[in-house]
Amino acid sequence: MNYRSSLIYAWSAYISIILITFSIDYYIRVSGKDFYYSGLSEYFWIAAIVLAVSTSGYFILYSMKYINKRVYKFIHLVTNIVLGFIFFAVFSYLYVVGFGVDSV
């Protein structure tokens, strides 16, 4: 495995786990009696986020072994953390507001 494939594994694991969690929540809401009060519990949301972050974090840290300087390793790590947070924040907002789960 090289630098590029580690990053591809990290981001595809992170994105797929988050989107699968959104899909399961939406399916439970649509098939349930009350759209606004059904859905995944907070424990499953937190478990999905922890699973996504730990899986992708492993591959991000693994990809850092191909970077020689510590400054570049730090920049690489911070950049991926910020991009991951932005991805989760934007898609969570779009999911919640777009499907009418809640209003802002």
Q: Where are the domains of the chain?
A: 3-98
Q: pLDDT band for position 26 (50/70/90)?
A: confident
pLDDT single digits (tens) 28-61: 888 878 777 778 888 998 999 999 999 999 999 9
Of 34 and 14, more confident:
14
Give yes or no for a contact between 92 and 40, defined as CB atoms under 8 angstroms apart: no
Q: Residue 104's pLDDT is what?
A: 56
Q: What is the pLDDT of residues 66-86, one digit of tens each?
A: 889 999 999 999 999 999 999
